[in-house]
Structure 1
Amino acid sequence: MPRPTLTAAQGMMNAMPDSPTTDAPLATYATAAQQRAYIAAMKKIRQARKPGEPVRVYVCASPHIARRRHWDERLAKIRHRLPGVQLVQFDDVFTPENYTEKWPELSPTFDGMVVVGTPKRGLQGHVYRLGEVARLEVIDLVKTGRPVLLHARRYGLIPFVDCKIHRVGENILRTKVTVPDGWDPSDYEPTLQAALRALRPRSTEAESHRGADAPSHLAHPFAAPPR
Protein backbone atom coordinates (compact mmCIF):
# COMPACT_ATOMS: atom_id res chain seq x y z
CA MET A 1 0.00 0.00 0.00
CA PRO A 2 1.57 3.36 -0.96
CA ARG A 3 2.47 5.79 1.79
CA PRO A 4 0.17 8.82 2.13
CA THR A 5 1.41 12.21 1.05
CA LEU A 6 2.66 14.50 3.80
CA THR A 7 1.48 18.09 3.44
CA ALA A 8 2.57 19.73 6.70
CA ALA A 9 6.14 20.38 5.50
CA GLN A 10 5.31 21.66 2.02
CA GLY A 11 6.66 25.07 2.97
CA MET A 12 10.10 23.59 3.62
CA MET A 13 10.60 22.39 0.04
CA ASN A 14 13.35 24.92 -0.50
CA ALA A 15 15.17 24.09 2.73
CA MET A 16 17.45 21.68 0.90
CA PRO A 17 18.95 23.63 -2.02
CA ASP A 18 20.75 21.81 -4.79
CA SER A 19 24.39 21.15 -3.96
CA PRO A 20 27.05 22.47 -6.35
CA THR A 21 28.13 19.94 -8.96
CA THR A 22 31.67 18.73 -9.45
CA ASP A 23 33.42 16.17 -11.63
CA ALA A 24 36.26 15.52 -9.20
CA PRO A 25 36.17 12.34 -7.09
CA LEU A 26 35.60 13.68 -3.59
CA ALA A 27 35.17 12.18 -0.16
CA THR A 28 32.46 14.76 0.57
CA TYR A 29 30.39 17.36 -1.25
CA ALA A 30 30.35 19.57 1.84
CA THR A 31 32.65 22.54 2.17
CA ALA A 32 35.12 22.66 5.05
CA ALA A 33 32.94 25.29 6.74
CA GLN A 34 29.85 23.09 6.39
CA GLN A 35 31.71 20.15 7.88
CA ARG A 36 32.94 22.22 10.83
CA ALA A 37 29.45 23.53 11.50
CA TYR A 38 27.96 20.03 11.29
CA ILE A 39 30.54 18.56 13.65
CA ALA A 40 29.96 21.38 16.15
CA ALA A 41 26.19 20.81 15.99
CA MET A 42 26.60 17.07 16.56
CA LYS A 43 28.89 17.76 19.52
CA LYS A 44 26.21 19.95 21.13
CA ILE A 45 23.64 17.18 20.71
CA ARG A 46 25.96 14.66 22.33
CA GLN A 47 26.82 16.94 25.24
CA ALA A 48 23.16 17.75 25.87
CA ARG A 49 22.13 14.11 26.17
CA LYS A 50 21.44 12.99 29.73
CA PRO A 51 22.81 9.69 31.07
CA GLY A 52 20.31 6.91 30.54
CA GLU A 53 18.22 8.94 28.11
CA PRO A 54 16.95 6.65 25.31
CA VAL A 55 17.84 7.40 21.70
CA ARG A 56 15.23 6.79 18.99
CA VAL A 57 16.19 6.77 15.32
CA TYR A 58 13.55 6.61 12.61
CA VAL A 59 14.33 4.31 9.68
CA CYS A 60 12.87 5.91 6.59
CA ALA A 61 12.24 3.31 3.87
CA SER A 62 9.53 2.78 1.28
CA PRO A 63 7.24 -0.24 1.81
CA HIS A 64 8.70 -2.16 -1.13
CA ILE A 65 12.19 -1.89 0.39
CA ALA A 66 11.07 -2.73 3.93
CA ARG A 67 9.30 -5.88 2.71
CA ARG A 68 12.26 -7.39 0.89
CA ARG A 69 13.52 -10.68 2.27
CA HIS A 70 16.93 -9.22 3.18
CA TRP A 71 15.45 -6.32 5.14
CA ASP A 72 16.27 -7.83 8.55
CA GLU A 73 19.88 -8.16 7.47
CA ARG A 74 19.88 -4.51 6.42
CA LEU A 75 18.47 -3.48 9.80
CA ALA A 76 21.11 -5.56 11.57
CA LYS A 77 23.86 -3.62 9.77
CA ILE A 78 22.30 -0.31 10.77
CA ARG A 79 21.84 -1.48 14.36
CA HIS A 80 25.49 -2.59 14.50
CA ARG A 81 26.60 0.96 13.76
CA LEU A 82 24.16 2.43 16.30
CA PRO A 83 24.51 0.25 19.40
CA GLY A 84 21.97 0.88 22.12
CA VAL A 85 19.71 2.90 19.81
CA GLN A 86 16.02 2.10 19.34
CA LEU A 87 15.28 1.82 15.63
CA VAL A 88 11.72 2.89 14.82
CA GLN A 89 10.09 1.78 11.58
CA PHE A 90 6.94 3.07 9.92
CA ASP A 91 4.79 0.10 10.97
CA ASP A 92 5.94 0.45 14.60
CA VAL A 93 4.20 3.78 15.09
CA PHE A 94 2.09 4.62 12.03
CA THR A 95 -0.62 3.28 9.79
CA PRO A 96 -1.32 4.64 6.31
CA GLU A 97 -4.55 6.10 7.71
CA ASN A 98 -3.08 7.99 10.69
CA TYR A 99 0.36 8.90 9.32
CA THR A 100 -0.41 12.46 8.25
CA GLU A 101 -1.94 13.23 11.63
CA LYS A 102 0.67 11.50 13.77
CA TRP A 103 3.88 12.52 11.96
CA PRO A 104 3.93 16.10 13.39
CA GLU A 105 3.37 14.64 16.86
CA LEU A 106 5.91 11.82 16.73
CA SER A 107 8.69 13.18 14.52
CA PRO A 108 10.03 15.51 17.27
CA THR A 109 10.60 12.41 19.42
CA PHE A 110 13.11 10.99 16.92
CA ASP A 111 16.74 11.84 17.69
CA GLY A 112 17.81 11.17 14.13
CA MET A 113 16.95 9.40 10.92
CA VAL A 114 18.47 6.72 8.71
CA VAL A 115 17.21 6.82 5.14
CA VAL A 116 17.23 3.73 2.93
CA GLY A 117 16.66 4.99 -0.58
CA THR A 118 16.19 3.23 -3.90
CA PRO A 119 19.49 2.94 -5.79
CA LYS A 120 19.46 4.19 -9.35
CA ARG A 121 20.45 1.42 -11.72
CA GLY A 122 23.76 1.47 -13.53
CA LEU A 123 25.46 4.01 -11.26
CA GLN A 124 27.36 1.58 -8.98
CA GLY A 125 25.35 2.44 -5.88
CA HIS A 126 26.28 6.12 -5.89
CA VAL A 127 22.83 7.61 -6.58
CA TYR A 128 19.68 7.05 -4.52
CA ARG A 129 16.14 8.27 -5.04
CA LEU A 130 13.72 9.40 -2.34
CA GLY A 131 9.99 9.66 -2.91
CA GLU A 132 7.81 12.61 -2.02
CA VAL A 133 7.05 11.50 1.54
CA ALA A 134 10.65 10.52 2.33
CA ARG A 135 11.82 13.88 0.99
CA LEU A 136 9.50 15.74 3.36
CA GLU A 137 10.49 13.56 6.30
CA VAL A 138 14.14 14.36 5.66
CA ILE A 139 13.40 18.08 5.45
CA ASP A 140 11.55 17.97 8.77
CA LEU A 141 14.55 16.50 10.59
CA VAL A 142 17.27 18.40 8.73
CA LYS A 143 15.68 21.76 9.53
CA THR A 144 15.91 21.00 13.26
CA GLY A 145 19.61 20.08 13.08
CA ARG A 146 19.18 16.44 14.00
CA PRO A 147 21.46 13.91 12.27
CA VAL A 148 20.13 12.37 9.07
CA LEU A 149 22.14 9.63 7.40
CA LEU A 150 21.77 7.64 4.22
CA HIS A 151 22.40 3.89 4.44
CA ALA A 152 23.96 2.60 1.23
CA ARG A 153 24.58 -1.12 0.90
CA ARG A 154 28.14 -0.64 -0.38
CA TYR A 155 29.15 2.28 1.82
CA GLY A 156 27.24 1.96 5.09
CA LEU A 157 26.06 5.14 6.81
CA ILE A 158 26.75 8.50 5.16
CA PRO A 159 25.64 11.86 6.59
CA PHE A 160 23.41 13.81 4.22
CA VAL A 161 25.73 16.78 4.66
CA ASP A 162 28.40 14.86 2.76
CA CYS A 163 26.10 13.95 -0.14
CA LYS A 164 24.96 15.95 -3.16
CA ILE A 165 21.24 16.72 -2.93
CA HIS A 166 19.25 17.42 -6.08
CA ARG A 167 15.54 18.08 -6.40
CA VAL A 168 13.75 16.34 -9.24
CA GLY A 169 10.22 16.64 -10.56
CA GLU A 170 7.84 19.53 -11.06
CA ASN A 171 4.37 18.99 -9.64
CA ILE A 172 5.60 16.20 -7.35
CA LEU A 173 9.05 16.91 -5.94
CA ARG A 174 11.42 14.09 -5.15
CA THR A 175 15.05 13.98 -4.13
CA LYS A 176 18.12 12.47 -5.72
CA VAL A 177 20.97 11.81 -3.28
CA THR A 178 24.47 11.25 -4.67
CA VAL A 179 27.15 9.59 -2.53
CA PRO A 180 30.59 11.11 -3.16
CA ASP A 181 32.74 8.95 -5.44
CA GLY A 182 35.63 9.06 -2.99
CA TRP A 183 33.63 7.99 0.06
CA ASP A 184 35.41 5.11 1.78
CA PRO A 185 33.64 3.61 4.81
CA SER A 186 37.00 2.50 6.22
CA ASP A 187 38.12 6.15 6.48
CA TYR A 188 35.21 7.26 8.68
CA GLU A 189 34.95 10.90 7.79
CA PRO A 190 34.83 13.25 10.80
CA THR A 191 31.21 14.14 10.02
CA LEU A 192 30.22 10.48 10.28
CA GLN A 193 32.13 10.06 13.53
CA ALA A 194 30.38 13.13 14.93
CA ALA A 195 26.95 11.86 13.89
CA LEU A 196 27.55 8.43 15.39
CA ARG A 197 28.66 10.00 18.65
CA ALA A 198 25.61 12.27 18.67
CA LEU A 199 23.37 9.21 18.37
CA ARG A 200 25.14 7.18 21.02
CA PRO A 201 23.25 6.82 24.32
CA ARG A 202 25.24 8.14 27.25
CA SER A 203 25.04 4.79 29.02
CA THR A 204 26.59 3.08 25.98
CA GLU A 205 29.29 5.74 25.80
CA ALA A 206 30.17 5.17 29.46
CA GLU A 207 30.44 1.41 28.90
CA SER A 208 32.77 1.94 25.95
CA HIS A 209 35.39 3.39 28.31
CA ARG A 210 35.46 0.36 30.61
CA GLY A 211 38.11 -1.34 28.53
CA ALA A 212 38.43 -5.01 27.71
CA ASP A 213 35.42 -5.99 29.81
CA ALA A 214 33.05 -4.06 27.55
CA PRO A 215 31.39 -5.80 24.59
CA SER A 216 33.48 -5.42 21.45
CA HIS A 217 30.92 -3.31 19.58
CA LEU A 218 30.84 -0.85 22.51
CA ALA A 219 34.57 -0.79 23.23
CA HIS A 220 35.19 0.02 19.55
CA PRO A 221 32.23 2.16 18.45
CA PHE A 222 33.77 2.89 15.05
CA ALA A 223 34.68 -0.69 14.21
CA ALA A 224 34.03 -1.66 10.61
CA PRO A 225 30.41 -2.70 9.99
CA PRO A 226 29.61 -6.25 8.90
CA ARG A 227 29.63 -6.55 5.11
Structure 2
Amino acid sequence: MLKPTLTAPQGMMNAMPDSPATDAPLATYATAAQQRAYIAAMKKIRVARKPGETVRVYVCASPHIARRRQWDERLAKISRRLPGVQLVQFGDVFTPENYAEKWPEVSPSFDGMVVVGTTKRGPEGRVYRLGEVARLEVIDIVKTGRPVLLHARRYGLVPFVDCKIHRVGRERLRTKVTVPDGWDPKDYEPTLQAALRALRPRSTEAENHRDIDAPSHLAHPFAAPPR
Protein backbone atom coordinates (compact mmCIF):
# COMPACT_ATOMS: atom_id res chain seq x y z
CA MET A 1 0.00 0.00 0.00
CA LEU A 2 1.17 3.53 -0.67
CA LYS A 3 1.93 5.51 2.43
CA PRO A 4 1.28 9.27 2.50
CA THR A 5 4.22 9.71 4.88
CA LEU A 6 6.71 8.56 2.21
CA THR A 7 9.36 11.15 1.44
CA ALA A 8 11.88 11.45 -1.38
CA PRO A 9 15.67 11.54 -1.11
CA GLN A 10 17.34 14.76 -0.05
CA GLY A 11 17.82 17.18 -2.93
CA MET A 12 15.52 15.35 -5.37
CA MET A 13 11.99 16.35 -4.44
CA ASN A 14 12.61 19.13 -1.95
CA ALA A 15 12.24 22.71 -3.08
CA MET A 16 15.40 23.72 -4.83
CA PRO A 17 17.07 27.01 -3.91
CA ASP A 18 16.45 29.97 -6.17
CA SER A 19 19.40 31.17 -8.19
CA PRO A 20 20.67 34.73 -7.70
CA ALA A 21 18.60 37.28 -9.57
CA THR A 22 19.92 38.03 -13.05
CA ASP A 23 18.65 39.71 -16.19
CA ALA A 24 18.54 36.37 -18.02
CA PRO A 25 15.57 34.04 -17.51
CA LEU A 26 16.31 31.08 -15.26
CA ALA A 27 17.06 27.94 -17.29
CA THR A 28 17.06 25.52 -14.34
CA TYR A 29 16.42 25.45 -10.62
CA ALA A 30 19.02 22.71 -10.16
CA THR A 31 22.51 23.46 -8.94
CA ALA A 32 25.50 22.47 -11.06
CA ALA A 33 26.21 19.60 -8.64
CA GLN A 34 22.62 18.33 -8.92
CA GLN A 35 22.81 18.44 -12.70
CA ARG A 36 26.11 16.54 -12.75
CA ALA A 37 24.74 13.87 -10.41
CA TYR A 38 21.57 13.53 -12.49
CA ILE A 39 23.48 13.20 -15.76
CA ALA A 40 25.76 10.57 -14.22
CA ALA A 41 22.74 8.60 -12.96
CA MET A 42 21.11 8.72 -16.39
CA LYS A 43 24.32 7.52 -18.02
CA LYS A 44 24.40 4.48 -15.71
CA ILE A 45 20.86 3.60 -16.76
CA ARG A 46 21.75 3.95 -20.43
CA VAL A 47 24.90 1.84 -20.15
CA ALA A 48 23.09 -0.89 -18.20
CA ARG A 49 20.31 -1.24 -20.76
CA LYS A 50 20.44 -4.50 -22.72
CA PRO A 51 20.09 -4.54 -26.52
CA GLY A 52 16.52 -5.24 -27.57
CA GLU A 53 15.15 -4.56 -24.08
CA THR A 54 11.68 -2.98 -24.05
CA VAL A 55 11.53 0.47 -22.45
CA ARG A 56 8.26 1.19 -20.62
CA VAL A 57 7.38 4.71 -19.53
CA TYR A 58 4.34 5.36 -17.37
CA VAL A 59 2.25 8.39 -18.32
CA CYS A 60 0.89 9.85 -15.12
CA ALA A 61 -2.26 11.92 -15.68
CA SER A 62 -5.54 12.43 -13.88
CA PRO A 63 -8.68 10.88 -15.41
CA HIS A 64 -9.92 14.42 -16.09
CA ILE A 65 -6.90 15.14 -18.33
CA ALA A 66 -6.89 11.73 -20.00
CA ARG A 67 -10.53 12.18 -21.07
CA ARG A 68 -9.90 15.42 -22.94
CA ARG A 69 -10.34 15.48 -26.71
CA GLN A 70 -6.71 16.49 -27.20
CA TRP A 71 -5.34 13.58 -25.17
CA ASP A 72 -4.35 11.44 -28.16
CA GLU A 73 -2.53 14.43 -29.63
CA ARG A 74 -0.72 14.90 -26.31
CA LEU A 75 0.35 11.26 -26.26
CA ALA A 76 1.59 11.54 -29.85
CA LYS A 77 3.80 14.49 -28.88
CA ILE A 78 5.28 12.56 -25.98
CA SER A 79 5.80 9.50 -28.15
CA ARG A 80 7.70 11.52 -30.77
CA ARG A 81 10.18 12.61 -28.13
CA LEU A 82 10.60 9.03 -26.90
CA PRO A 83 10.97 6.96 -30.08
CA GLY A 84 10.70 3.22 -29.62
CA VAL A 85 9.37 3.57 -26.07
CA GLN A 86 6.20 1.83 -24.90
CA LEU A 87 3.93 4.37 -23.21
CA VAL A 88 1.83 2.84 -20.44
CA GLN A 89 -1.34 4.51 -19.18
CA PHE A 90 -3.32 3.86 -16.02
CA GLY A 91 -6.00 1.82 -17.79
CA ASP A 92 -3.41 -0.43 -19.42
CA VAL A 93 -2.34 -1.97 -16.12
CA PHE A 94 -4.68 -0.78 -13.35
CA THR A 95 -8.29 -0.42 -12.38
CA PRO A 96 -9.51 1.91 -9.63
CA GLU A 97 -10.24 -1.18 -7.53
CA ASN A 98 -6.84 -2.91 -7.81
CA TYR A 99 -4.57 0.14 -8.15
CA ALA A 100 -3.38 0.35 -4.53
CA GLU A 101 -2.54 -3.35 -4.49
CA LYS A 102 -0.91 -3.54 -7.92
CA TRP A 103 1.15 -0.31 -7.91
CA PRO A 104 3.98 -1.71 -5.72
CA GLU A 105 4.06 -4.81 -7.92
CA VAL A 106 3.86 -3.15 -11.37
CA SER A 107 5.66 0.18 -10.90
CA PRO A 108 9.17 -1.37 -10.71
CA SER A 109 8.70 -2.45 -14.34
CA PHE A 110 8.50 1.18 -15.45
CA ASP A 111 11.79 2.62 -16.74
CA GLY A 112 10.61 6.16 -16.16
CA MET A 113 7.61 8.43 -15.91
CA VAL A 114 6.10 11.35 -17.80
CA VAL A 115 3.78 13.49 -15.71
CA VAL A 116 0.98 15.54 -17.26
CA GLY A 117 -0.21 17.99 -14.63
CA THR A 118 -2.73 20.81 -14.55
CA THR A 119 -2.03 24.51 -14.64
CA LYS A 120 -4.40 27.38 -13.96
CA ARG A 121 -2.87 29.57 -16.64
CA GLY A 122 -3.45 27.39 -19.68
CA PRO A 123 -0.70 26.45 -22.15
CA GLU A 124 1.39 29.47 -21.10
CA GLY A 125 1.52 28.48 -17.44
CA ARG A 126 4.76 27.45 -15.74
CA VAL A 127 3.25 26.14 -12.49
CA TYR A 128 1.78 22.64 -12.54
CA ARG A 129 -0.11 20.92 -9.76
CA LEU A 130 -0.08 17.22 -8.95
CA GLY A 131 -2.70 15.54 -6.81
CA GLU A 132 -2.16 13.16 -3.93
CA VAL A 133 -1.82 10.02 -6.05
CA ALA A 134 0.45 11.59 -8.67
CA ARG A 135 2.66 13.01 -5.94
CA LEU A 136 3.21 9.56 -4.41
CA GLU A 137 3.81 7.99 -7.80
CA VAL A 138 6.51 10.56 -8.58
CA ILE A 139 8.20 9.97 -5.24
CA ASP A 140 8.21 6.21 -5.81
CA ILE A 141 9.94 6.54 -9.18
CA VAL A 142 12.34 9.34 -8.21
CA LYS A 143 13.61 7.57 -5.10
CA THR A 144 14.86 4.68 -7.26
CA GLY A 145 16.82 7.01 -9.53
CA ARG A 146 14.63 6.55 -12.60
CA PRO A 147 13.89 9.62 -14.78
CA VAL A 148 10.71 11.59 -14.21
CA LEU A 149 9.77 14.23 -16.77
CA LEU A 150 7.01 16.82 -16.76
CA HIS A 151 5.25 17.34 -20.08
CA ALA A 152 4.14 20.93 -20.50
CA ARG A 153 2.38 22.15 -23.64
CA ARG A 154 4.64 25.16 -24.06
CA TYR A 155 7.91 23.67 -22.82
CA GLY A 156 7.74 20.04 -23.91
CA LEU A 157 9.52 17.55 -21.66
CA VAL A 158 11.26 18.99 -18.59
CA PRO A 159 13.16 16.83 -16.05
CA PHE A 160 11.87 17.23 -12.52
CA VAL A 161 15.44 17.90 -11.36
CA ASP A 162 15.37 21.20 -13.29
CA CYS A 163 12.05 22.32 -11.77
CA LYS A 164 11.20 23.94 -8.46
CA ILE A 165 9.27 21.45 -6.32
CA HIS A 166 6.95 22.55 -3.50
CA ARG A 167 4.87 20.37 -1.22
CA VAL A 168 1.53 22.02 -0.56
CA GLY A 169 -1.38 21.20 1.71
CA ARG A 170 -1.56 19.70 5.17
CA GLU A 171 -4.05 16.86 5.46
CA ARG A 172 -4.09 16.33 1.69
CA LEU A 173 -0.52 16.64 0.45
CA ARG A 174 0.01 17.70 -3.13
CA THR A 175 2.95 18.90 -5.20
CA LYS A 176 3.48 22.14 -7.09
CA VAL A 177 6.02 21.95 -9.92
CA THR A 178 7.42 25.16 -11.44
CA VAL A 179 9.18 25.08 -14.81
CA PRO A 180 12.12 27.53 -15.11
CA ASP A 181 11.05 30.65 -16.99
CA GLY A 182 14.07 30.36 -19.28
CA TRP A 183 13.48 26.75 -20.29
CA ASP A 184 13.60 26.49 -24.08
CA PRO A 185 12.46 23.20 -25.66
CA LYS A 186 14.63 24.01 -28.68
CA ASP A 187 17.74 24.65 -26.58
CA TYR A 188 18.03 21.21 -25.02
CA GLU A 189 19.52 21.20 -21.55
CA PRO A 190 22.10 18.48 -20.78
CA THR A 191 19.83 16.96 -18.14
CA LEU A 192 17.02 16.52 -20.68
CA GLN A 193 19.38 14.99 -23.24
CA ALA A 194 20.69 12.60 -20.58
CA ALA A 195 17.15 11.55 -19.62
CA LEU A 196 16.14 11.02 -23.25
CA ARG A 197 19.19 8.84 -23.85
CA ALA A 198 18.44 6.86 -20.68
CA LEU A 199 14.94 6.15 -21.98
CA ARG A 200 16.05 5.18 -25.48
CA PRO A 201 15.98 1.50 -26.42
CA ARG A 202 19.47 0.23 -27.19
CA SER A 203 18.65 -0.67 -30.79
CA THR A 204 17.35 2.86 -31.48
CA GLU A 205 20.27 4.37 -29.61
CA ALA A 206 22.78 2.44 -31.73
CA GLU A 207 21.10 3.67 -34.91
CA ASN A 208 21.07 7.28 -33.72
CA HIS A 209 24.71 7.01 -32.65
CA ARG A 210 25.65 5.74 -36.10
CA ASP A 211 23.68 8.53 -37.78
CA ILE A 212 25.41 11.20 -35.72
CA ASP A 213 28.96 9.93 -35.66
CA ALA A 214 29.28 8.32 -39.09
CA PRO A 215 29.08 10.14 -42.47
CA SER A 216 25.92 9.54 -44.46
CA HIS A 217 24.40 10.66 -47.72
CA LEU A 218 22.26 13.10 -45.69
CA ALA A 219 25.34 14.98 -44.51
CA HIS A 220 25.85 16.40 -48.03
CA PRO A 221 22.50 16.10 -49.80
CA PHE A 222 23.70 17.86 -52.96
CA ALA A 223 26.95 15.93 -53.35
CA ALA A 224 27.36 13.63 -56.30
CA PRO A 225 26.76 9.94 -55.45
CA PRO A 226 29.90 7.80 -55.01
CA ARG A 227 31.17 6.03 -58.14
Indicate the TM-score class for this superposition, using the shorter chain for normalisation: 0.7 to 0.9
Alignment of 1:13 onto 2:3: no
| 1:19 to partner: Cα distance | 2.1
Per the alignment, residue 103 of structure 1 pairs with 103
TM-score by structure 2 length? 0.87
Q: Is contact 1:9–1:140 with CA below 8 Å preserved after alignment?
A: no
* Map 1:1-227 → 2, pairs under 5 A: 7-13=1-7, 15=9, 16-21=13-18, 24=22, 25-121=25-121, 124-211=124-211
Give per-residue Cα distances to partners, 1:76-121, cap 9 Å, x unaligned.
0000000000000000000000000000000000000000000122
CA distance in 2, matches of 1:197, 1:9: 32
Identify if the C-alpha distance between structure 1 residues 152 and 49 changes in structure 2 by more than 3 Å, giving closer, same or farther.
Answer: same
Stretches of structure 1 that go unaligned for 5 or more consecutive residues are 1-6, 213-218, 220-227
Question: What amino acid is aligned across from residue 199 of structure 1 in structure 2?
Answer: L
Q: Tell me the number of residue pairs that the alignment of Structure 1 and Structure 2 aligns.
A: 207
Give per-residue Cα distances to partners, 1:165-224, cap 9 Å, x unaligned.
001100010000000000001110000000000000001112224449xxxxxx9xxxxx
CA distance in 2, matches of 1:112, 1:151: 13
Identity %: 81
Stretches of structure 2 that go unaligned for 5 or more consecutive residues are 213-217, 219-227
Per the alignment, residue 225 of structure 1 pairs with none
CA distance in 2, matches of 1:203, 1:123: 34
Per the alignment, residue 221 of structure 2 pairs with none
The structure having more radius of gyration, on CA atoms, is 2
Q: Secondary structure at the match of 1:119?
A: coil
CA distance in 1, matches of 2:207, 2:182: 33
Per the alignment, residue 215 of structure 1 pairs with none
CA distance in 1, matches of 2:126, 2:107: 28
TM-score by structure 1 length? 0.87
| 1:18 to partner: Cα distance | 2.1
Per the alignment, residue 222 of structure 1 pairs with none
Identify if the C-alpha distance between structure 1 residues 123 and 52 changes in structure 2 by more than 3 Å, giving closer, same or farther.
Answer: closer
